[in-house]
């Protein structure tokens, strides 16, 4: 099988973010819907980012496959991203949104101005500057809700949380964006496993604890794949992302 340009490059890379491509000889669905020019830009992004940002912190293939499938299968056009860092997942969602013919479809916010400017540059280079808004601000700041609704043209249908991974901050994000969601809308969370709780520099349980508590008190209709997967677990995974996948749906 002839692999796409980005997959060929990723399979040759030794970075942690490209491990999936070295273990599989086929391409994930979100790469297959992209245009050749999109792959050219992702290749350029990968080459430059590997040199300038040794730890790009990109969302895994499993997460991006789940996320983009939700977006495409349901025709979602109002999306919020909390935490874009240097922009890989932002570009992927951007290419998917453009394939769908969506406009003004992604509001992405991150606290750090330096990687945000880097991500913005690639968004502009991809020709997505009119349809993706890059905001530099704490993702739990209520100002984001008004700004996102104005840009997207309504309440978000999906919010993707992959930012600080700290317990208290993640709880603030969940409370803020849950209220902002359209009824029936969804929050997708990365890093909700016990293993990923180690990402919390405050040692308070991270996104794992925040997701568990929020699902117990507020989001009854929820799924936490690999939520109980810890560093010392010897069980074989079926969903192969050690960081886990959280899906929370707001009631109608």
Q: Are 68 and 29 a contacting pair, CB within 8 Å?
A: yes
pLDDT of 54 over the 90 cut: no
Smallest CA-to-CA distance from 185 within 153, 211, 219, 208 is with 219
What percent of the chain clears pLDDT 90, i.e. is strictly above it?
90
- Supply the mean pLDDT for the chain: 95
Mean pLDDT value of segment 153-181? 98
Mean pLDDT value of segment 174-200? 97
- pLDDT, one tens digit per residue, over 37-52 is 999 999 999 999 989 9
Smallest CA-to-CA distance from 170 within 226, 246, 93 is with 246
The helix (run of H) or strand (run of E) holding residue 89 is: helix 88-100
pTM for this prediction: 0.97
- pLDDT, one tens digit per residue, over 12-31 is 988 778 889 999 999 999 99
What pLDDT was estimated at residue 26?
Answer: 94
Return the domain boundaries, the chain.
Answer: 58-249
CB proximity list for 121: less than 8 A, separation 6 or greater: none
- pLDDT, one tens digit per residue, over 93-140 is 999 999 999 999 999 999 999 999 999 999 999 999 999 999 999 999
Burial class (CB in 10 A: 0-12, 13-18, 19+), 24: middle
pLDDT of 63 over the 90 cut: yes
**C-alpha to C-alpha distances, 251 to 15, 62, 79, 236, 243, nearest whole angstrom:** 40, 26, 18, 33, 26
Least trusted range by pLDDT, from 45-54, 75-84, 174-183 = 45-54
From the options 3.40.50.2300, 3.40.50.150, 3.40.50.300, 3.40.190.80, give the CATH code of 58-249.
3.40.50.150
């Amino acid at each position: 099988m002839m692999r796409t340009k980005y997959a060929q490059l990723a399979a040759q890379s030794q970075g942690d973010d490209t491990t999936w491509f070295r273990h599989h000889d086929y391409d994930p669905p979100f790469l297959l819907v992209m245009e050749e020019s999109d792959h050219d830009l992702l290749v350029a992004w990968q080459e430059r980012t590997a040199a300038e940002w040794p730890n790009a912190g990109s969302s895994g293939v499993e997460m991006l496959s789940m996320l983009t499938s939700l977006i495409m299968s349901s025709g979602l056009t109002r999306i919020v991203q909390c935490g874009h860092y240097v922009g890989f997942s932002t570009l992927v969602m951007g290419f998917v949104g453009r394939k769908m013919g969506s406009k003004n479809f992604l509001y992405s916010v991150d606290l750090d101005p330096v990687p945000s400017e880097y991500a913005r540059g690639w968004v502009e280079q991809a020709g997505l500057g009119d349809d993706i808004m890059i905001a530099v601000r704490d993702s739990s700041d209520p100002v984001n809700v008004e700004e996102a609704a104005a840009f997207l043209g309504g309440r978000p249908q999906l919010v993707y949380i992959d930012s600080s991974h700290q317990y208290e901050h993640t709880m603030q994000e969940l409370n803020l964006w849950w209220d902002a969601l359209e009824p029936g809308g969804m929050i997708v969370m990365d890093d909700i496993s016990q293993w990923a709780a180690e990402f919390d520099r405050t040692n308070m349980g991270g996104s794992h604890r925040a997701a568990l508590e929020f699902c117990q008190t507020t989001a009854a209709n929820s799924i936490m794949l690999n939520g109980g997967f810890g560093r010392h677990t010897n069980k074989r995974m079926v969903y192969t992302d050690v960081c886990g996948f959280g899906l929370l749906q707001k009631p109608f």
